Amino acid sequence: MFGLFGSGGSSRRNPHAAVEDAVKHAHRVWDSADVETRAKLLEKAIEIREDRMFLALVNATWTQLPEPTRLKITGVLIKRDSELSFVKTAARHMGEIVGDSYSLAEFDAMFGNQKYDARWSRECALGVWFGLGRFCLFISIGQLSRLKEQDFDAAINAGQSGLLSKWTMSEVTRNTYERFGADKIPLMLPMYRLINDNGQLRLFFTVLISDILGSNSNVSVDDFSNGFLALALRGVRMDVDPSVLSRVSTMFGAVGNAVQEFDKMLPL
């Protein structure tokens, strides 16, 4: 019950111990930090107009810092850790939203009647579908205007935890999902950035749907830039179902917009 109704004092958190723990944490962070990180902490903690004094503090060990400075740095780190915890929680919720959207049921609704290429199974196709969900998460988090650069990796990791909490994968599906992440997503990111009209948007999702259906096309960024013929020559199935193409692209945008709502909640 969060300690509100406990009868014994031993179950309650000693506030002095909490402060001591925070100071010890700050001590570890400071002594292990490089000069650039120390400088950023100092700039947030105190105002120093004299360069020589600032330089001396940056190069000092924790125990050499004045006590008031140590306490202010501790306060900065407490605030920083609190913000990072919020970012991770928000990112996990983003991942859960994406995971719920790129579900097994939605996959079957869109691709249950589609014909897969030879030696390609529904389990393989599902791995690419989940990979598309992962890509949607990456794009959505990357577009959060309030997300600080130093928090990006933590947000991605937390978001992926949210994704995977919503999906169950067989070994085949997981292997395809991991291959798609390693081989395709690094190429999809620059392709996505090239999109500037609806025609290119349709081509982009045509490539993805073709991969879901098993074409395993080896498309480069240059191929995508060169358009329809170059993609067809690379083995992309250009005759994908128009209704599926519309549903996949529309859902990608709708899910991305839903995740963007979290941007308003992130600390400035």
DSSP the chain: -TTSS-S-GGGSPPHHHHHHHHHHHHHHHHHHS-HHHHHHHHHHH-----HHHHHHHHTS-GGGS-HHHHHHHHHHHHHHHHHHHHHHHHHHHHHHHHHHHS-HHHHHHHHTTPPPPTT--HHHHHHHHHHHHHHHHHHHHHT-TT--GGGHHHHHHHHHHHHHTT----HHHHHHHHHIIIIIHHHHHHHHHH--SHHHHHHHHHHHHHHHTT------HHHHHH-HHHHHHTT--TT--HHHHHHHHHHHHHHHHHHHGGGGGS--
pLDDT exceeds 80 at position 48: no
Give 83 or 155, the one with higher predicted confidence: 155
Q: Average pLDDT of the chain?
A: 86
Of 9-18, 47-56, 84-93, 182-191, the range with the lowest mean pLDDT is 9-18
Contact 141, 152 (CB under 8 A): yes
Q: Percent of the chain, pLDDT > 70?
A: 90
Rounded Cα gap, residues 239 and 237, in angstroms: 6
For range 203-231, the mean pLDDT: 92
- Per-residue pLDDT band for 146 (boundaries 50, 70, 90) equals confident
In this predicted structure, what is the pLDDT of residue 13? 46
pLDDT exceeds 60 at position 214: yes
Of 2-6, 123-127, 140-144, 156-160, the range with the lowest mean pLDDT is 2-6
For range 136-155, the mean pLDDT: 88
What's the longest Cα–Cα distance across the chain? 75
Give the Cα-Cα-Cα angle 134, 136, 142 (nearest 5 degrees): 105
In this predicted structure, what is the pLDDT of residue 4? 31
In this predicted structure, what is the pLDDT of residue 178? 96
pLDDT exceeds 60 at position 53: yes
Q: Using alpha carbons, select from 10, 11, 14, 34 the residue that is nearest to residue 22.
A: 14
Rounded Cα gap, residues 91 and 137, in angstroms: 9
- The angle that helices 152-164 and 67-101 make with each other, rounded to 10 degrees, is 40
The CB density around residue 127, as the number of other CB atoms within 10 Å, is 23
In this predicted structure, what is the pLDDT of residue 18? 64
- Per-residue pLDDT band for 104 (boundaries 50, 70, 90) equals very high
Against a cut of 0.85, is the pTM above it?
no
- Per-residue pLDDT band for 10 (boundaries 50, 70, 90) equals very low
pLDDT exceeds 60 at position 2: no
